[in-house]
Amino acid sequence: MGREYQVGAGLALLALAAQSALAQHDTTLSGAGFTGLSVTPTAQLLRRGTMGLAYESQVAGAPSAGRYGTSGHNFVAGFGVLPNLEISGRMAANTLNTNCYAEPCGIRDLSFNFKAGTPLDKAHRWNAAVGATDLGGAATFFRSYYGVLTYTATDARNLDLSVGYARRSGAVVPSRAATPLDGPFASAAYRPLPWLQGQLEYVDGSSFAGGRIHAPAEWLPTGWAAHLGVNMRMSGNAHTARSWISVGLTVPLYKVSNERPAPRPAIAPGALAAPVASRSAAQEFSAAGLAESPPIGVYAPSLAQAMPADPDEAGRITDDQMKKLAAALAAKGFEDIAIGRLPDGAVAIRVNNATYNVNSVDGLGVALGVVARQLAGARAPYRLVLTQRQVAIVGARGQTDCLARWIELETPGCAAVRLSAPGTAAVDASLDGAAWVVQGGAPSWATTRLVLQPVLRSTLGTEYGVFDYSAGLRATLQQPLWRGAYAEVSHVSPISESQDFRVGGVFGNSRLVDSTDRALVHQVARVPVELLFGKRNQGAATRWGANAFTAHLAAGRFDSNYRGVYGELRWEPGEGRNRFGIEGGRFDRTTAYDRNLPAESRALLASYRYAYTPTRTYFEATAGQFMYSDVGIKLGIKQWFHDVAVSLYVRRSKFEWEPRARSYAGIEISIPLTPRKDMSPTHHIQVTGTPRWSYGVETVIRESANRVDTSQGVVPGGAVLDRTFNSDRAGLSYLEENLPRVRSAAGR
C-alpha cells in the first residue's frame, strides 16, 4: 500500500508540472519553523520587513512511543529580517499547562530556526537556500540541517517545484522526538485559483498531501495575508499525525519598496542643496496619525505674485508674522518656541519636540510644513533647530519659498532644506546672534506628562507551562524643570497573571506588585568639547565631532529594589554611522523583596554601534560589568523597519563566585504603542503612550537545563539618551535617507 501511495504521489507531481495556472501567492511560514509546505521547506523566504505567524494542531516528530504521540500544538513566529535571511522561533508542546515535574507532560520545546537564500537568475525562477531548525536551547528534539532548490514555473508563477536534502541530528529512537525532515525530499505546490493551493511532499519514505485556502486580500489590511490549511500523511512512518490543520498569518512590519534605492549622491555632510526623493519612495509613507493642515498647494502656486516689487523688501519678516508662526507651531504641539532674526537676515526658529515621539523625523517634517505655510510668500532664508528635551538633535536651513515648492512639487530647483546633525555641524551655534521676537512660547515646564505603557513579565516553554505571565500597566508622571531637566515618578499596577506567577507560585517572586517603583530626577546636557579646540579651530572641532557629546545624569529610586546614581555619555561623530557610549552607576538595595540580588551594585558598561544605512541594520556591542555585578559581553544585530525593530543577540557573562560563564541567545521586537502624533501639550497635561515597547525571548546556550534567570546581563534601567536622539536614529545619514518621510509629514 505504501509503494502505491508513493507511485501515485509521483504521478500527481508530473501531472501538476504539466499544467498552466494563475498567480503565485506570498510565501508563508509552516509549523516546522521555515517557509514552505507542511513538513518540507522551499527556497523562498519571508519577504524582508514581514512577520509570519503559524499554528499546527500537532507536534510533528514527537516520539511515537510517548504518552501523547504527535497530539499537541505547534506555534511559530518568524521575521524576514534581511533580503536574504529569515529567522523564526518555534514552540512545540504536547501539553500547555501540565507541570512536567508532577506528571508526564510530553514534548515542550522552544527552538530557534533560520534560513538563508538567494535567487539564481534575474527572473527569480530559480532559488536556492540553506537552513537549520531547532538551534540553541537545553534540548534539541527537532534539529535538522538542509539545503533546497526551488523552481517557479510559468510567468504566472503558480507552480513551485522543490528538491533538497536534509540531515537529521541524532539517531531515530521510538522514545525520542525526531524531525521528519531527513534525507532527500521533494515537493510541488500548485495554485489553480488565487485563493486555493494544492501541495504534495515526499521525505524520508513518507508522502504527504494538503491544501490551503487563502483569504481574499480585500478581507485583510493592506499587505496582510492569511491561510487555513489541511494536511494528510498518505504513507510512511508515524513522525506526524495522519491528518492535521494549520493556520498562517503574514503581517508587514512596514511597506517595503520593491525597487532598489537610488545611490546617494557624493555630497559634503549637511550640504544637501535640493533634496530629491522619487515619487514612488514618497508614497511609501502614509499620513495616518498626523493632523491634517491646508495643502501646501494653496501657497506654492501664488509665490510668483507674492514676490515684493522692491528687491530690498524680499525676505523681511514682520514681528506679526513671527508671532503667527509661533502660534501655528504651538498648535501643532511644539514647545519652547523661539523665533527671531539672525544678523544675515535669516529667520531663526527653535522648537522642542515632545509630541512626535515615535519618530522625530515626523516632528521635523511638520515643523518645516508650518514654516512653509506661514512664510513661503516672503521668500525668506530660514534656520530651524529641532530639540528633544531642549537638546538640539537636528538643524535645517534653506529658503521658505523653495521649501514650499519642494513639499508641493518635490523638485524645487533651489535650496529647499539643508540638514545638519550634531556630528557634522554646530547645530546650537547656527542660531547664535539671533534677536528673538518670540521666546519661551508654549513653555515645556507648564505641561506635566502622563506616559502609559503595558508591562509584561513572562516565561516561555518552561517545565511549568508553555506561557506564564504577569501583566500590568505602568503610569509615569514626568514634570519638565529647567533646560534638559525633568523629574519622574512611576507606578505599576498589576492587571492579570497566570497561576504560576501568583503568590506561592513558582514564579511568584517575579510577579508584578502594586508599587511606586521609580522616582528620579534627570539632567540631560550637551558637553561643550569644542571649547577645547579654541575659537580659531572650530572647523577641526566639527570634523572631529566635538559637538556630538551628550551626557545624562539621574539620581533617585530606579526600581523596586535599588536607589542610586546613574550616568551615561554618548558620542555620535560624523554622519551617525558610528556611535560610542559609556554608562554606569552605583546602586544600593533598599528592600528585601528578592534576597538573591546583591546589596550593592556597581555597573560600568561601554558600547559601540555601527549603522549600515542601505538596509538600516545596526551592529551593536556592549561589554563591562552589568547591573548585578556579572562581567561579560553582549553582541547583537538590530534591523529597523521604519519604526519597528527586530534584534538578535548573544550574551555571555560570569559572576565572580561562579566557576564558569553562562551564554544566552535571544530575539527581541520593539514596536511603538502610541500614535505618530501624541496629544498636544496645550492644556497643562499631556497623555501619551510609549514610543518603544519591547518584548524578548532568550534561551541558554550549551546548558543541561534551560534555567529561568533574570539576574544575568541586566543593563541599568536609567538610560534616556537613545530615546532623546530618536531611538538612536538621529545621525545625518538616517535623516537624509528619510527625506521622503520628512516631506510626507511636511505635507500635513
Q: Are residues 18 and 142 in the same domain?
A: yes
User: How many structural domains compose the chain?
Assistant: 3
pLDDT above 90 (res 535): no
pLDDT of residue 703: 62
Tens digits of per-residue pLDDT, 468-510? 999 999 999 999 999 999 999 999 999 999 999 999 899 988 8
pLDDT above 70 (res 617): yes
Can you tell me the distance from the alpha carbon of 48 to that of 131, in angstroms, rounded to the nearest whole number?
17
Q: Are residues 453 and 379 in the same domain?
A: no
pLDDT above 60 (res 410): yes
Q: Are residues 135 and 209 in the same domain?
A: yes
Section 79-106 average pLDDT = 90
Q: Look at residue 239 and tell me if it is in a domain.
A: yes
Can you tell me the distance from the alpha carbon of 333 to that of 522, in angstroms, rounded to the nearest whole number?
23
What pTM did the predictor assign?
0.86
Contact present, 389 and 484 (Cβ < 8 Å): yes
The CATH number for 137's domain is 2.40.160.40
pLDDT of residue 342: 94
Q: Are residues 405 and 485 in the same domain?
A: no
Q: Are residues 315 and 356 in the same domain?
A: yes
Q: Look at residue 406 and tell me if it is in a domain.
A: yes
Q: Look at residue 724 and tell me if it is in a domain.
A: no
Section 408-426 average pLDDT = 85
pLDDT above 90 (res 154): no
CB atoms under 10 Å from CB of 482, counted, come to: 10
Q: Are residues 100 and 188 in the same domain?
A: yes
Q: Look at residue 627 and tell me if it is in a domain.
A: yes
Tens digits of per-residue pLDDT, 208-264? 999 999 999 889 888 899 999 999 999 987 688 899 999 999 999 876 444 334 443
Q: Are residues 103 and 174 in the same domain?
A: yes
Q: Look at residue 722 and tell me if it is in a domain.
A: no
Q: Look at residue 718 and tell me if it is in a domain.
A: no
629 Ramachandran zone, left/alpha/beta (phi>0; psi -120 to 50) = left
Tens digits of per-residue pLDDT, 576-606? 999 999 999 999 988 765 666 788 889 999 9
Grid cell of 628 as nine digits: 548585578
Long-range residue pairs from 629-635, CB within 8 A, at least 24 positions apart, any chain = 629/598, 629/601, 629/602, 629/603, 629/655, 629/656, 630/654, 630/655, 630/711, 630/712, 630/713, 631/656, 632/661, 632/713, 634/713
The CATH number for 649's domain is 2.40.160
Section 269-282 average pLDDT = 38
Residue range of the domain that includes 523 = 446-709
Q: Look at residue 274 and tell me if it is in a domain.
A: no
User: Hey, which residues does 184 pair with through a beta bridge?
Assistant: 165
Q: Are residues 487 and 379 in the same domain?
A: no
pLDDT above 90 (res 698): no
Q: Are residues 224 and 193 in the same domain?
A: yes
Q: Are residues 341 and 236 in the same domain?
A: no
Q: Are residues 428 and 457 in the same domain?
A: no
Q: Look at residue 273 and tell me if it is in a domain.
A: no
Which of 366, 339, 535 is CA-nearest to residue 434? Answer: 339
pLDDT above 90 (res 156): no
Q: Are residues 124 and 212 in the same domain?
A: yes
Decide the pairing of beta strands 183-193 and 515-526: unpaired
